[in-house]
Amino acid sequence: MKTGFPRSRFQHLAAAAFLGAVAALAACSTQAPAPTQSPPPVAEPVAAPAAANAADSALAQRMKQALSDGLYQQRNTEQEAAIAAAPGPSAAKRAAAPVSSVAVTGSRVPALAPPPPPPPPAYPSAPEERERYEALKANPVFVAAETPVSTFSIDVDTGAYSNVRRFLNEGRLPPADAVRVEELINYFDYAYAGPQDRKTPFALHTELGPSPWNSNTELLAIGIQGWKPADAAIRPSNLVFLVDVSGSMMDPNKLPLVKASLKLLATELTAKDRISLVVYAGRTEVVLEPTPGDQTATIVAALDRLEAGGSTNGAGGIQLAYAMAEKAFIPGGNNRVLLATDGDFNVGISDIRQLKSLVENKRRSGVALSTLGYGGGNYNDALMEQIADVGNGHYSYIDTLNEARRVLVDERASALETIAKDVKIQVEFNPAVVAEYRLIGYENRVLNREDFNNDAIDAGDIGAGHRVTALYEIARVGSDGAKVDPLRYGNDKAASSKPAGKASELAFLRLRYKHPDDGEAAKSRLIERVIGAGDAVAANQTSPGFKLAAAVAAYGQILRGGAYTDRYAFRDAAALAQSALAASADQASGRTAEFIELAKLAGGLQSRQASNTVREGVD
């Protein structure tokens, strides 16, 4: 029978031996004459009996299997070599010799061993993480009797929220330092009532209610809503688009998204506005001289010509952009540089402190600098956030074109027009009522107590329509919410010595700001308000905005490790936000609904990470 394989020498020898044995048995059964007769000729090969066919077929099947595993050729060659090297007469002599007996020698050919298991798949190693974030340590709990005053600068940045969203949508939890809780909170609209006119740049709101993650503490919410002008009332803008076109900006979520983002803004400008375009890579270049904002086609064509390549001289680009802004300066207008980059500066000045000093010196010219962050892998969040801070600007992270529309179109007035400068908040807690407090977020915005009255100390600016929210978690005297043990040798007279008339006050809120029209040397203005101890309301009576802010604060704290949120989980934050969804001011924009899904996604990723950690420990 044909097996599909050529017969080996071993198979031919085995067949010849078998036929010789058959001939010998036949000779014995016919009682052949004396052995002097010539031996019978060797018969031609005949078809093997059924048993031989079966054995032949099985051997052929094993050979096929061995060949499929890449082993047949090697093993067949080794077997043939062993037979050829065996001592004894050759096959030709054995075939010619008289067959008087059949002797079986040697051993059976061993069965082919199963092939070894395939090696485990080689997974590509994770790319090196080169993103840079400022290390932040959560604000501690303060004892009101020892440190009754808390002072900080406001922050209107929202970049951390969309950057965290980018991580979650990529299927991974963000680094803890990428989460600045105040930027997550300030991403949302809490429906604060605004001021009536520009003379009063913002309205101040407070609300006091239970903390969702600790039944023994409360949350004090301080909200600021900036004045929002009609589009026609927005001042003329002198904008310099400063675009990073270095080689690191080739990815689709970098330069291509930058160009699409700035085109959205270009379509919103008018003839009274001026646009310039400066690019930098290994060198800097002016791509578009100051151009009226209504020449949209010219602006878009200049953006379309941009291509990525080369190193990154960010400092040189910043200097040239400021020069262009000063060249087209509009007195009384919005003069601003918009820096769009991944922040990966590698030529010229790249140290954050030196870059901050450069921007700080340039802001005295009356030109602000805002940053738009793009991409990942090499993203320098620390640089983007800090130079926007010292540049009297705002920091946003653009992960999608929808986010670009939110920042540059829907909230264009907030991004471009400043209504209050150097805004500082100071809260003095009454030790007779408050045992402890802690500020949630704003870790890199904390100021010294004396900085509040020092107008030379820089602080955050508020754009038209901006809203700012700060949350304090407080534990009242006599409650079980206190975390700090009393001092053995402490003096409790501080609380008892407070005048009886102040027992109804929980805290005293003070706010300082400068009006942009007052000039750089102007004295700051002061707003003061008492927060009553009886202002607290039950959980079911808190506003939808309060519930949403508390949910976002919990989400941010859990992402940072949850040092103060106990067992409160992402699903709890999602449920709390869901309870505020129907009445939320963000319902139309879909931001609250998106937040709920992100909180659920974060919970799933956290569970998967915990499961992987347990599995690695078992292995």
The CA radius of gyration of the chain, in Å to the nearest whole number, is 41
Answer whether residue 118 is part of any domain: no
Would residue 40 count as lying in a domain? yes
For 184, the token pair is 């997550």
Same domain, 303 and 425: no
In 393-541, where does DSSP find H-type helix? 401-405, 412-416, 493-496
Strands (E), 410-453: 418-429, 434-440
Higher pLDDT, 47 or 354: 354
Six token digits for residue 62? 């094993």
Look at 45-59, 101-115, 601-615 and tell me which has the smallest mean pLDDT: 45-59
More confident residue, 401 or 588: 401
Residues with Cβ within 8 Å of residue 439, at least 6 apart in sequence: 139, 150, 152, 446, 470, 471, 472
In terms of domains, do 380 and 281 share one? yes
Q: How far apart are the C-alpha atoms of 74 and 91, rounded to whole Å?
A: 24
CA distance 2 to 542: 88
Residue 598 C-alpha from the chain's centroid: 12
User: 469 and 599: one domain?
Assistant: yes
Residue-wise pLDDT for 2-38, tens only, equals 444 444 554 554 555 555 554 555 555 444 444 444 4
Closest by Cα among 460, 599, 573, 509 to 158:
460
State both tokens at 93.
């002599």
Give the pLDDT confidence score for residue 555 in this predicted structure: 98
Domain end position, chosen among 416, 435, 459: 416
Model confidence over 470-527: pLDDT tens digits?
999 999 999 999 999 988 887 655 444 555 558 899 999 999 999 988 877 789 999 9
The pLDDT of 368-382, averaged and rounded, is: 95
- What per-residue confidence (pLDDT) applies to 484? 93
223 and 256 fall within a common domain: no
- Between CA 581 and CA 598 the distance in angstroms is 14
In 3D space, the residue among 505, 508, 501 whose CA is nearest the CA of residue 533 turns out to be 505
Answer yes or no: do 297 and 422 share one domain.
Answer: no
- Assess if residue 588 is contained within a domain: yes
Average pLDDT over residues 63-69: 51
Using DSSP bridges, classify how beta strands 505-514 and 418-429 pair: parallel, antiparallel or unpaired: antiparallel
pTM over 0.75: yes
Q: Which residues pair with 420 in a beta bridge?
A: 462
Q: Which two tokens stand for residue 597?
A: 């899904």
Task: Give 283's contacts (C-beta < 8 A, 6+ positions apart).
Answer: 310, 313, 316
Contact between 333 and 366 under an 8 Å Cβ cutoff? The reply is no
pLDDT of residue 233: 79
Q: Which of 192-196, 208-212, 229-233, 455-459 has the lowest mean pLDDT?
A: 229-233
Give exposure, 253-281, as e/b (b: 16+ Cβ within 10 Å): bbbebbbebbbebbebbeeebbbbbbbbb
**pLDDT single digits (tens) 232-260:** 678 999 999 999 999 989 999 999 999 99
Does one domain contain both 426 and 511? yes
Query: Could you please report the per-residue DSSP string of 514-565?
Result: E-GGG-TTPPPEEEEEEEEGGG---GGGS-HHHHHHHHHHHHHHHHTT-SSS
Residue 23 domain flag: yes
pLDDT of residue 496: 47
Q: What is the pLDDT of residue 311?
A: 73
Displacement of CA 323 from its chain's centroid (Å): 35
**What is the pLDDT at residue 92?**
46
Is 289 or 98 the better-scoring residue by pLDDT?
289
Give me the mean pLDDT over the 344-359 stretch.
Answer: 77
Considering only CA atoms, which of 202, 189, 585, 158 is closest in space to residue 418?
202
Q: Does residue 150 belong to any structural domain of this protein?
A: yes
Q: Residue 399: inside a domain, yes or no?
A: yes
CATH number of the domain that 536 lies in? Answer: 2.60.40.1230
Q: Which residue has the higher pLDDT, 583 or 439?
A: 439
**Shared-domain flag, residues 461 and 588:** yes
Q: What is the pLDDT of residues 532-577, one digit of tens each?
A: 999 999 999 999 999 999 999 999 999 999 999 999 999 999 999 9
**Whether the predicted pLDDT of 345 surpasses 60:** yes
Residue 122 lies in a domain: no
Structure tokens at 52: 């031989």
pLDDT value of residue 91: 46
DSSP-derived secondary structure for 381-394: HHHHHHHHHHTT--
Give the number of domains in the chain.
3
Q: What percent of the chain has pLDDT over 70?
A: 74
Residue at which a domain ends, from 385, 416, 447:
416
Look-up of token digits 């508020």: 462
The predicted pLDDT at position 275 comes to: 97
Task: Please write the tens of the pLDDT for every residue from 194-222.
Answer: 998 778 899 999 999 999 999 999 999 99
362 closest CA partner among 321, 419, 417:
321
Judgement on whether residues 345 and 375 belong to the same structural domain of the protein: yes
Q: Any idea what DSSP says for residue 262? A: H
Range of the domain at 428: 142-155+176-229+418-483+494-618
- One-letter amino acid identity for 168? L
Predicted confidence band at 47 (pLDDT cuts at 50, 70, 90)? very low
Higher per-residue pLDDT: 303 or 282: 303
Examine the domain organization and report whether 342 and 469 are in the same domain. no
CATH code of 402's domain? 3.40.50.410
Write down the pLDDT at residue 51: 47
- Among the candidates 379, 398, 416, a domain finishes at 416
> b vs e for 324-340, b when ≥16 Cβ sit within 10 Å of the residue's Cβ?
bbeebebeebbbbbbbb
Helices (H) and strands (E) in the chain, counts: 17, 16
* pLDDT at position 230: 80
Residue with tokens 């994770």: 126
CA distance 264 to 272: 18
304 and 434 together in one domain: no
Same domain, 463 and 593: yes
What pLDDT is recorded for position 585?
Answer: 58
Alpha-carbon span 213 to 508, nearest angstrom: 25
Side chain identity at residue 323, one-letter code: A
pLDDT tier at 314, thresholds 50, 70, 90: confident
- Judged by average pLDDT, the poorest of 72-81, 425-434, 601-610 is 72-81
- Same domain as 330, residue 438: no
The answer to whether position 133 is within a domain reads: no
CA distance 126 to 106: 56
Mean pLDDT value across the chain:
83
